[in-house]
């Protein structure tokens, strides 16, 4: 058997995919705050949450692939 590396499914091994993560968020420091929608670009949900979680309580709303620097949103 020769040395082989299995290509990771669903991603190019040379470029990590980025996503736009959308959350419904409430400010942690304002008890009267109303929910708002926040978006952040990151490779994983964990990374996205780590950016926003210190300031907001988060509920995941969407994960959109980033294509050419812009979120890929299809209107149906």
Domain over 19-67 is classified CATH 3.10.20: yes
Q: Where are the domains of the chain?
A: 19-67
Instruction: Return the pLDDT at 73.
Output: 60
Residue 46 φ/ψ, nearest 5 degrees: -60, -45
- Cα 56 from chain centroid (whole Å): 15
Quote the CA–CA distance of 17 and 50 in Å, as a whole number. Answer: 18
Instruction: Return the pLDDT at 72.
Output: 64
Instruction: Return the pLDDT at 75.
Output: 56
Instruction: Return the pLDDT at 35.
Output: 96
Instruction: Return the pLDDT at 67.
Output: 81
Residue ranges in the chain modelled with pLDDT below 50: 76
């Amino acid at each position: 058997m020769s040395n082989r590396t299995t290509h990771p499914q669903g991603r190019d091994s040379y470029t990590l995919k980025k996503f736009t993560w959308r959350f419904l968020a409430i400010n942690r420091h304002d008890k009267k705050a109303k929910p708002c929608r926040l978006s952040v670009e990151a490779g994983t949900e964990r990374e996205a949450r780590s950016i926003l979680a210190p300031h907001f309580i988060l509920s995941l709303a969407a994960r959109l692939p980033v294509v050419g620097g812009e979120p890929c949103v299809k209107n149906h």
